[in-house]
Amino acid sequence: MNDSYINSNYDRLPGSYLFSTIAHKIKEYQGIHPEADIIRLGIGDVTTPLIPEVIKAMHKAVDEMGVKDTFRGYGPEQGYDFLREAIVRGEYTARGIDMDPNDIFVSDGSKCDVANIQELFSEDVRIAIPDPVYPVYLDSNVMAGRTGTLQGDGHFSEVTYLASTAENDFQPDLPKNPVQLIYLCSPNNPTGTVLSRETLQKFVDYANKTGSLILFDGAYNCYIQDESLPHSIFEIPGARTCAIEFRSFSKTAGFTGVRCAYTVIPHELSKLHSMWNRRQCTKFNGVNYVTQRAAEAIYTPQGWKETTAVIKGYMDTAKLIRKELTAAGYTVFGGEHAPYIWWKIPDGEKSFDFFDRLLSTCQVVGTPGSGFGPCGEGYFRLTAFGDHERTKVALQRIKENL
């Protein structure tokens, strides 16, 4: 086919997707050093098996699918009512937030939802994204032709970056120039830090005043240990008229390989609510019944008990990483309300060079901070989702060899 027919915005994307680049580098290293016992603390993928309550629900749902009277074909594109209602009870009513089950759109992943949502907006809206942050927000807007060109400093010309760094205590300032879409991520991936109530209120007030929209990614909210910190944008007065929230079962319940998430579009945003509904009905046939029953199961009393035990296990690993790196003289952030530790690397060293050094000296993998945005340079992300004992070994190697 003639190249002029393709979406040339893809040519603006620098290199491959961050985690594909990392996977490629690991494969290359393992190819040269087949004996190397590599410990992977890079991509935030879970390692603890699904909880018994979820497995029980899946078995039951599978059995139902084998019986004529309980077999299900296409489900509702928005998700089954049983799951939408369980989400409202378990995630929102439980925190004193008023929520209508019809505002919940069940999906097969937050990655897809945060990437797809931008198609509801015109090509010339200007976006603001935290720097550093999960790369999907930016990449999906590059693909849509909304970002301008990549500059020498690593920023795209038409994007407003919201620096979220140690210098501002990871609480970004409001955009300096007019924007229409504002991505926020809390707890933040990659820094593992949480946006305060004051910061969120500032953004909600700004959005309501300017008519802009907040796209709030709360995929890691269940790791917040301090109940006074905001778990949802909808805890903030005024958010229902200016925010959409993305949530996922991936990190909450170990569903990275199962695939289930949800997006909340308040009915106050009636136009967007009906557009997303139209989009889902046209392009999506819903999440399979077995998976939705599995997700529902985390909200039973036993399911929640088992889920919180798994989360505690990951947070114990986060605590261990923080403790050991701090004891070794490093500065670290995050890891207190999130499964990511944001590690300050030696001054002057590039984070991708540090990746290579860590891999070759310790056979430990992490994620270079600059992969999440220019403000991530000088930092490195470790995940607490790895096996606890293997993480101990990784930390020992770091103390001894780095």
Residues that bind ligand MLT (CB under 6 A): 43-45, 111, 134, 189
Measured from the CB atom, the residue of 143 and 174 that comes closer to ligand MLT is 143
**SS3 category, 280:** helix
- Min CB(224)–ligand MLT separation in Å: 17
DSSP for 93-158 reads: GGGT----GGGEEEES-HHHHHHHGGGGS-TT--EEEEES--THHHHHHHHTT-S--B-TTS-BTT
The closest alpha carbon to 121, from 182, 206, 78, 178, belongs to 182
Shortest Å distance, C-beta 309 to ligand MLT: 21
Peptide bond into 187 cis (omega under 30): yes
- Smallest gap from Cβ 342 to ligand MLT, in A, equals 12
- By the 8 A CB rule, do 301 and 92 touch? no
What is d(CA 339, CA 337) in angstroms, rounded to the nearest whole number?
7
Structure tokens at 333: 């952030």
Rank residues 286 and 366 by Cβ distance to ligand MLT and give the closer one.
366
Closer residue to ligand MLT, CB minimum distance, 109 or 175: 109
Q: How far is the CB of 259 from ligand MLT (least distance, A)?
A: 11
- Is 301 strand, coil or helix? helix
> DSSP readout, 153-220?
TS-BTT-EEEE--GGGTT-PPPPSS--SEEEEESS-TTT-----HHHHHHHHHHHHHHT-EEEEE-TT
Helix (H) or strand (E) holding 308: helix 301-327
The minimum distance between CB 82 and ligand MLT, in angstroms, equals 26
* Contacts for 81 with CB less than 8 Å, ≥ 6 apart: 101
**Smallest separation, CB 250 to ligand MLT (Å):** 6
Closer of 175 and 366 to ligand MLT (Cβ): 366
Angle at alpha carbon of residue 389, lines to 385 and 392, rounded to 5°: 90
Q: Smaller CB distance to ligand MLT: residue 114 or 269? A: 114
CA dist 237 and 233 (Å) reads 9
| Shorter beta-carbon distance to ligand MLT: residue 207 or 315 | 315
Q: Select the residue whose beta carbon is closest to ligand MLT and give its number.
A: 44
Whose CA is closest to 297, among 247, 253, 251? 253
Query: Which of 156, 104, 196 lies closest to 373 in space, CA to CA?
Result: 156
Q: Which residues pair with 333 in a beta bridge?
A: 342
What is the total residue count of the chain? 402
**How far apart, in Å, are the Cα atoms of 99 and each of 85, 89, 90, 201?**
10, 9, 11, 19
- Rounded to a whole number of angstroms, the minimum distance from the CB of residue 381 to ligand MLT is 8
Return the number of the residue (45 or 235) whose C-beta is nearest ligand MLT.
45
CB closer to ligand MLT, 40 vs 146: 40
Residue (45 or 64) nearer to ligand MLT, CB: 45
Q: Is the CB of 134 or the CB of 161 nearer to ligand MLT?
A: 134
